Structure 1
Amino acid sequence: MSAAIEELRNAPAMLPLFAKALLRANVKPGNNPVLPNAGIRLRDVVLDPKHLRTYRNVCGFPADGMLPVTYPHLHAHPLFMSLLLRSDFPFAAMGLVHVRNRITQFRPIAEREQLDIECGFGELVRVAKGYEFSMLTSVSTGGELVWESESTMFRRGGGTGVEEPRSAPNTTPVTDAEVWQVPGDIGRRYGAVSGDRNPIHLYPLSAKLFGFKRQIAHGMWTKARSLAALHEQLPVQPFTVDVQFKLPVFIPAKVKFAHTAVADGIDFRLVAQDGIKPHLTGTLRHAD
């Protein structure tokens, strides 16, 4: 059965959504959670040059007349939140963890193109320590699909208890790498431009309220910053960038970014100062 798509005239405001998330913080999924058969569409999104310029400054992208490959995610985020705060969504939005993100760009998107953005739910899977589900986004312009993504979210609790076999982690220390100084205010700066002002990203005290020793960088900032570092190597042809978010980046921090060219694209990773502890692992591959 196809999803019921809600048409919006304007993007939802993030502050009321965050307030609603606090009110729904104690929602319990029950024994057999089911995702709503629903989606949201926002048409004719005109991009704000000032907002785009701020995003580039925060993430390190150059101004080249095209949208940074991660930029459409920002316009999908309020739609994500609206879906997560539906009365029939089985989990509390607070406490969800973004564990993976895959973006496919079918062609570069010019700054002045108007975008149609549609978001919906993917598959819900019960895993060892809880549940995983995906949020799907497609971006079109003039009826042409130009960008799509899948964000995989994790909710702890109610899992199977059965661990899946995993490949051995890469413990080879990063040696030939860029060293980045991640400032302590990057969570506030990225939160201001993205609308994602989750307290775990803002200040040491607000992060401690949620069990962190201090604030952490947004996962999507680490992905954006990595792709900004690879900007000159990004293909014009369709490509997919798939990342897994590993250990959080407690900020301020010093991290290392390394990348390797492979036959069909680029492998990259962001690691701690010791060159081993992983924050993000990613692959860039040419899309079919």
Structure 2
Amino acid sequence: MPTRRYADSPGFGALYARTVKATLRKAEYEPDHDGLTLELPRATVDQDHLTAYREVTGFAAGPALPVTYPHILAFPLHLDLMSDPSFPYKPMGIVHLGNTITQLKPLPMHAEFAITVHSGPERPHPKGTVFDVLSSVSVDDEVVWTDTTTLLSRSSGEPTAHADLLPDPGLEPTAVWDLRANLGRRYAAASGDRNPIHLFKLSAQAFGFPRQIAHGMWAKAASLASIQRSGGLPDAYTVRVDFRKPLLLPSRVTFAHQRLGDAVDFAIYNQDQTTTHLIGQLQPR
């Protein structure tokens, strides 16, 4: 299995240029190899960047990282993987279906982290092919955090394939959120995810959306920050979300959550609760 190791996180400028090039490659393209693993053995947190991330997602200050923040540290490696000549799918247009994070212990914000990223096996989906980008974070050679980002490459698909979805818990709203038009640009500045569908109305319309949409990982982070403020989060847990309908900006949405002991079901709906944008489950470990 080929491995690429970095002394520092790859820069976004070159990564986005390579992403565009990878998207324009010919349909009959065949990858050079598969199973590429990317490693960043020494990653640290920029405290100003962490503060900006907390502000846009709603996480309170504290000695440990927000559970979704290591995804931001791993994201340049995600782009590097998906824009590599070995990657079998065109990166622009890939649909983010869901994300599962397991935190085995709180991550101290001043620690040095080792990050590993690779892709998992593909599987059929009614709308194409699904695959996972798998990330892990270690501190002192101990894995403390893992992330599974589930993605869809659209094609004719397999009509009999099973789409693995969380059931909608049908919760009553616990909060109303007014999301501004610039939310996507603010989160892009904090996360590095500058996909044009999140930035401006015109750039989103070029990809078939009526206007810009919120990042799925912002929605997950904001949900967990809200749960944390209302009663806290356990030290060790797995939290999965499915992204259902795009969350257009600006908009007013309802957030709902329900605790069952340390477990939490949560969801984001539109204002009148006729559309489900996100469904989540948190299970303590």
TM-score class normalised by the smaller sequence: over 0.9
- Alignment correspondent of 2:282: 284
Quote how far apart the aligned CAs of 1:29 are: 5.9
Q: How does 1:88-127 map to 2 (within 5 A)?
A: 88-127=86-125
Cα deviations by residue, 1:35-86 (Å, 9 ceiling, x for unpaired):
8211101012111000000000010000011100000000111001111111
- The one-letter code matched in structure 2 to 1:110 is P
Q: Which residue of 2 aligns with 1:211?
A: 208
Question: 2:173, 2:32 → 1: CA distance?
Answer: 46
| 262 and 89 in structure 1: CA distance in 2 versus 1, 3 angstrom threshold | same
Counterparts of 1:34 and 1:6 in 2: how far apart (Å)? 15
In structure 2, do the counterparts of structure 1 residues 167 and 222 end up closer, same or farther at CA, with 3 Å as the change threshold?
closer
Identity of aligned residues (%): 39
Counterpart CA distance in 2 for 1:26 and 1:197 is 18
Q: CA 1:32–1:124 in 2, change beyond 3 Å: closer, same or farther?
A: farther
Q: Does residue 225 of the first structure (1) align with residue 222 of the second (2)?
A: yes
TM-score by length of 1: 0.92
Once the 2 structures are TM-superposed, how far is the Cα of residue 145 of structure 1 from its aligned partner? 1.1
Q: Which amino acid in 2 is paired with 1:194? A: S
Q: Is the Cα contact below 8 Å between 2:173 and 2:254 reproduced in 1? A: no
SS across alignment from 1:154: strand
Distance in 2 between residues matched to 1:26 and 1:126, nearest whole Å: 24
Question: Relative to 1, partners in 2 of residues 1:123 and 1:50: Cα closer, same or farther, differing over 3 Å?
Answer: same
Q: In the alignment, what sits opposite 1:62? A: 60
Instruction: Report whether the alignment pairs 1:21 with 2:16.
Output: no
Matched, 1:235 2:234: yes
1:251 Cα deviation after fit: 0.3
Determine which of 256, 263, 266 is the counterpart of 1:265. Answer: 263
- Comparing 277-286 with 10-19, greater Cα deviation is found at 10-19
TM-score (norm 2): 0.93
* Map 1:57-206 → 2, pairs under 5 A: 57-164=55-162, 170=168, 172=170, 174-206=171-203
Q: Which amino acid aligns with 2:247?
A: V
1:28–1:90 CA contact under 8 A, matched in 2: no
Question: Secondary structure of the residue that 1:78 maps to in structure 2?
Answer: helix
Q: Provide structure 1 residue ranges, at least 5 long, that are not aligned to the other structure.
A: none
Match in the other structure for 1:5? 3
> Measured at CA, do residues 54 and 88 of structure 1 come closer, stay the same or move farther in structure 2, by a change above 3 Å?
same
Q: 1:125 to 1:33 in 2, by over 3 A?
A: farther
Cα contact 1:29–1:91 (8 A) shared by 2: no
Instruction: Find the aligned partners of 1:29 and 1:35 in 2 and give their Cα distance.
Output: 17
Contact 1:27 1:91 in 2 (8 A): no
Q: Distance in 1 between matches of 2:272 and 2:250?
A: 15
Cα deviation 1:78-124 (Å, max 9, x = unaligned): 00111111112111110011101000000011111110000011111
Q: CA 1:170–1:103 in structure 2 vs 1: closer, same or farther (change >3 Å)?
A: closer
**Structure 2: runs of 5+ lacking an equivalent:** none
Which amino acid in 1 is paired with 2:215? H
3-state DSSP of counterpart to 1:230: helix
Where 1:53 maps in the other structure, the secondary structure is helix
Work out the CA distance in 2 between the residues paired with 1:167 and 1:184. Answer: 29
Task: Kindly tell me the number of residue pairs found equivalent between the two proteins.
Answer: 283
Q: How much does 1:167 deviate?
A: 7.7
Mark the CA change 1:141 to 1:149 in structure 2 (over 3 Å): closer, same or farther. same
Write the letter of the residue equivalent to 1:60. G
Residue deviations 1:186-215 (CA, integer Å, cap 9, x gap) = 100111111111110000011111111000
Alpha-carbon separation, structure 2, partners of 1:101 and 1:71:
13
Partner Cα distance (2:122, 2:31) in 1: 9
Query: Are residues 57 and 84 of structure 1, via their aligned partners in 2, closer, same or farther at CA, if it must alter by over 3 Å?
Result: same
Higher mean displacement: 87-96 or 156-165: 156-165
Asked if the contact 1:36–1:121 (Cα under 8 Å) also holds between the matched residues in 2, the reply is: no
How far off its partner does 1:31 sit? 10
Contact between 1:244 and 1:280, CA under 8 Å: does it hold in 2? yes
1:125 deviates by: 0.9
Quick check: 1:128–1:159 contact (8 Å CA) kept in 2? yes
